């Protein structure tokens, strides 16, 4: 941060948008700062802030393996998230374009640990960035998710972020999603959960809407797409390796599963703006 302000870039992964900031070594984004900057009327507007940090800043807290940089992710409501698949693609593109990493394979540190990234030399438009998201674990069973439009059973998954995935006939069935859906029993997710509503199109193709913890409905959710694809592949008895296409409101991503259950998220990352954040916004 300088007296004249902090440089930023604004980008998105299939509509999931972020403010990327660097040069704030050791200075985590505060909840008030995130709320202010992510406000779509009074700030820049985004689903979250991605602070570029040196991995050494967090290496005592998390197993970051060979990562040189850490994605310090803050939601629009000021809370922290372990990881974000769409944010990782934007973050990875930033690192390459800033000359901090080279195309090919490298790792990014997150609160969920080190994440492997691959950007091909031939992917000149950054349209197929691959993020190794890890594996999923089944959470509490017999959960019911409700919105103002209805109630559905949900498959609960953890391992990346917490997700509750419900199958609907049409993603519009979930309603407006202006209010936070409920998951019963109440004690299932004391720290909150991301809700996914998926509609099957074919055994290897689904559409999805998501309501993210701390944000609301978003145009895309990377870890949610992984959870949704996993539930769909399991219900259709797909044998790994498999690939499921996930159509989100902001575009399309693909989820690949290896034989050992490791999930990889593939999709685009785009930047749309850059500028300087006025210094007084960091004094909140």
Cβ–Cβ < 8 Å for 47, 17? yes
202 strand-pairing partners: 205
Cβ–Cβ < 8 Å for 132, 116? yes
The active-site residue out of 38, 156, 221, 226 is 221
The active-site residue out of 38, 84, 156, 226 is 84
Contacts of 27 (CB under 8 A, 6+ apart): 1
CATH class as words, domain 137-267:
alpha beta
Cβ–Cβ < 8 Å for 67, 58? no
Counted residue by residue, the chain has a size of 284
Task: Kindly report, residue by residue over 222-277, the tens digit of the pLDDT.
Answer: 989 999 999 999 999 999 999 999 999 999 999 999 999 999 999 999 999 999 99
Residue 284 confidence (pLDDT): 62
Q: Determine if the peptide bond prior to 185 is cis (ω within 30°).
A: yes
Q: Which of 28, 22, 32, 31 is nearest to 1 (CA)?
A: 22
Q: Which of 74, 15, 35 is nearest to 222 (CA)?
A: 15
122 strand-pairing partners: none
CATH homologous superfamily of domain 6-128+269-283? Diaminopimelate Epimerase; Chain A, domain 1 (3.10.310.10)
Tokens 């019911």 belong to 144
Q: Is 38 a catalytic residue?
A: no
Are 6-128+269-283 and 137-267 the same fold in CATH? Answer: yes
pTM over cut 0.75: yes
* Tokens coding 279: 């210094």
Question: What is the pairing mode between strands 137-138 and 143-147?
Answer: unpaired
Q: Which of 227, 257, 228, 226 is nearest to 240 (CA)?
A: 257
Cβ–Cβ < 8 Å for 25, 14? no
Rg (CA), the chain: 18
How many C-beta atoms surround the C-beta of residue 3 within 10 A?
Answer: 5
- Spans of the chain below 70 pLDDT: 1-4, 140, 283-284
DSSP 23-75: S-TT-PPPHHHHHHHH-TTTS---SEEEEEEEGGGTTTTS--TT-SEEEEEEE
What are the residue boundaries of the structural domains of the chain, listed by start? Answer: 6-128+269-283, 137-267
How many C-beta atoms surround the C-beta of residue 45 within 10 A?
Answer: 14
Residue 151 confidence (pLDDT): 97
Helices 85-97, 222-235: axis angle to 10 degrees equals: 130
Q: Helical H runs in the chain?
A: 31-38, 85-97, 222-235
Residue 273 confidence (pLDDT): 96
**Cα–Cα distances in angstroms (integers) from residue 89 to residues 20, 35, 40, 132, 214, in the given order:** 12, 23, 22, 11, 20
């Amino acid at each position: 941060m300088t007296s004249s302000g902090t440089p930023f870039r604004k980008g998105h992964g299939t509509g999931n948008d972020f403010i990327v900031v660097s040069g704030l070594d050791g200075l985590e984004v505060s909840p008030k700062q995130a709320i202010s900057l992510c406000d779509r009327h009074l700030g820049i507007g985004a689903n979250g802030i991605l602070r570029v940090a040196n991995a050494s800043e967090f290496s005592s807290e998390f197993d970051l393996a060979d990562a040189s940089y850490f994605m310090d992710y803050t939601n629009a409501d000021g809370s922290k998230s372990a990881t974000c698949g769409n944010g990782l693609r934007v973050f990875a593109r930033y690192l390459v374009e800033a000359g901090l990493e080279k195309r090919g394979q490298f790792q990014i540190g997150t609160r969920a640990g080190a994440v492997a990234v691959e950007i091909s030399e031939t992917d000149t438009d950054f349209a197929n960035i691959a993020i190794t998201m890890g594996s999923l674990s089944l959470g509490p069973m017999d959960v019911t998710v409700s919105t103002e439009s209805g109630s559905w059973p949900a498959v609960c998954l953890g391992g990346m972020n917490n997700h509750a995935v419900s199958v609907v006939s049409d993603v519009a069935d979930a309603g407006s999603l202006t209010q936070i859906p409920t998951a019963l029993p109440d004690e299932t997710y004391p720290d909150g959960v991301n809700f996914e509503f998926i509609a099957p199109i074919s055994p290897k193709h689904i559409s999805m809407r998501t309501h993210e913890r701390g944000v609301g409905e978003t145009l895309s959710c990377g870890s949610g797409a992984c959870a949704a694809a996993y539930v769909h592949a399991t219900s259709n008895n797909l044998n790994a390796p498999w690939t499921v296409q996930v159509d989100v409101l902001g575009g399309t991503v693909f989820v690949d599963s290896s034989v050992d259950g490791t999930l990889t998220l593939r999709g685009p990352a785009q930047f749309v703006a850059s500028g300087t954040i006025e210094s007084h916004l960091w004094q909140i």
